[in-house]
Amino acid sequence: MHQPLSSIMSEDWAAALAPVEEQIHAMGAFLREEHAAGYRTFPPAADIFNAFRRPMSRVKVLIIGQDPYPTPGHPMGLSFSVAPGVKPPRSLENIFRELVSDLDVPRPTSGDLTPWCR
């Protein structure tokens, strides 16, 4: 039996993703098989749904990206975010450059985008 999506993400995200819940469970099963075979994936399993833990009703901006981060400490389950103390990859530097240019705000000092979620 699969755990309900609401146990790994907020209730409103779970409801929105309910139509694809079986595919999400299938992806989880695939990743567990890969891990059992000795393969590593990023982000760590505990961080895969980081972006969906905050209630959808509180989301103001959604940054979607596909940027392969094969390095431990880079992927955090938030698009483009890297762990504190990890040098931001070029894609995130590009986002920071646009942020500074467009909004005339100071460049963020960390590649960890978790504070942006708050």
> Which residues have a catalytic role annotated?
67
| Residue 59 phi, psi dihedral angles, 5° rounding | -80, 130
Q: Are 2 and 14 in contact (CB under 8 A)?
A: no
CA 24 to chain centre: 15
Residue in this structure with the two tokens 């890297």, named with its chain if needed = 82
What is the maximum span of the chain, computed from C-alpha positions, in angstroms?
50
Residue type, 115: P
User: What's the CA gap between 7 and 1, in Å, rounded?
Assistant: 13
